[in-house]
């Protein structure tokens, strides 16, 4: 299992390095110039980010996945904002597909970094505000992560880091994450598509649906946690 984890971690690093190298070779100074945008990410501006992604033309989707995947160590931005922006750029279904790929890569990166580099690294990234998960996470990891992701009130990257600091299996973590995050990503993608018409049913309906899912999921999570004494 440890060898499998090392293989996945190495594959992720190689994948991200290839994308960065390709972007540098393909765009040269353009890529180096635009990366300055990320240097000022503490003053995140959705419109600027949207223009940044669109600036890569037919490679916009690739750059979106790259930035989203590196978000755990690069950006302090909620996944919801990036997914809504994707919806406004690529349309709901393509945005959903790209966001799910990015979620897989970003969540895996955070989990494996925490697992390999430990709490000192996580404390540095999160400035000492790392989440703590109960001891039962090792045995009930999949269900706990699934319910926590569905409820969406738990910050995405801190939860990934926190899971990586436990003894839970990567398989349980990533399956719970991908299934749990899917309804939210789909809703945000459709919200992005209709962002210019916030008072329409097409924009409001996804909000109501994810709120309902979050309420039911959080209630289920609290009940499950209490029942299992986690």
- pLDDT tens for 138-150 read 777 888 898 888 8
C-alpha span between 149 and 178 (Å, rounded): 9
Average pLDDT over residues 195-220: 77
Tell me the pLDDT tens digit for each residue of 130-177. 677 766 677 778 888 988 888 877 888 889 998 998 888 999 999 999
pTM: 0.74
- Per mean pLDDT, which of 52-56, 119-123, 218-222 is the most reliable? 52-56
Q: Which residue has the higher pLDDT, 229 or 185?
A: 185
pLDDT of residue 24: 43
SS3 169: coil
Tell which wins on pLDDT, 39 or 187.
187
Whether the predicted pLDDT of 78 surpasses 50? yes
Q: What pLDDT is stored for residue 25 in this prediction? A: 40
d(CA 120, CA 105) in angstroms, rounded, equals 22
How much is the average pLDDT of 97-113?
Answer: 94
CA 96 from chain centre, in angstroms, equals 12
18-27, 37-46, 131-140: which has the minimum mean pLDDT? 18-27
Query: Is the per-residue pLDDT at 192 higher than 80?
Result: yes
Of 102-111, 119-128, 136-145, 188-197, which has the strongest mean pLDDT?
102-111
pLDDT value at 220 more than 50: yes
In the chain, the N- to C-terminal Cα span, in Å, equals 25
Mean pLDDT (whole number) for 5-29: 49
> Which pairs with CB-CB distance under 8 Å and at least 24 residues apart come from 57-66?
59/23, 59/26, 60/89, 60/90, 61/90, 61/94, 61/98, 62/19, 62/23, 63/23, 64/89, 64/90, 64/98, 64/102, 65/19, 65/98, 65/101, 65/102, 65/105, 66/16, 66/19, 66/20, 66/23
pLDDT of amino acid 40? 44
């Amino acid at each position: 299992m440890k060898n499998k984890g090392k293989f996945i971690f190495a594959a992720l690093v190689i994948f991200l390095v290839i994308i960065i190298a390709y972007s540098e070779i393909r765009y040269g100074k353009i890529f180096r110039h635009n990366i300055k945008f990320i240097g000022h990410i503490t003053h995140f501006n959705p419109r600027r980010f949207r223009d940044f992604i669109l600036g890569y033309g037919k490679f916009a989707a690739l750059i979106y996945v790259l930035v989203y995947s590196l978000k755990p160590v690069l950006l302090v931005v909620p996944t919801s904002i990036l997914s809504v922006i994707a919806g406004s750029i690529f349309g709901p279904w393509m945005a959903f597909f790209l966001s799910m790929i990015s979620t897989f890569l970003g969540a895996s990166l955070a989990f494996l970094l925490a697992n390999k580099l430990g709490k000192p690294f996580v404390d540095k990234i999160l400035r000492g505000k790392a989440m703590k998960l109960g001891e039962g996470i090792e045995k009930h990891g999949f269900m706990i992560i699934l319910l926590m992701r569905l409820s969406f009130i738990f910050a995405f990257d801190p939860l990934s880091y926190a899971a990586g600091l436990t003894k839970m299996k990567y398989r349980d973590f990533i399956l719970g994450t991908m299934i749990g995050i899917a309804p939210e990503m789909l809703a945000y993608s459709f919200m992005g598509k209709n962002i210019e018409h916030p008072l329409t049913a097409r924009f409001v309906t996804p909000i109501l649906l994810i709120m309902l899912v979050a309420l039911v999921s959080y209630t289920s999570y609290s009940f499950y946690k209490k029942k299992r004494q986690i």
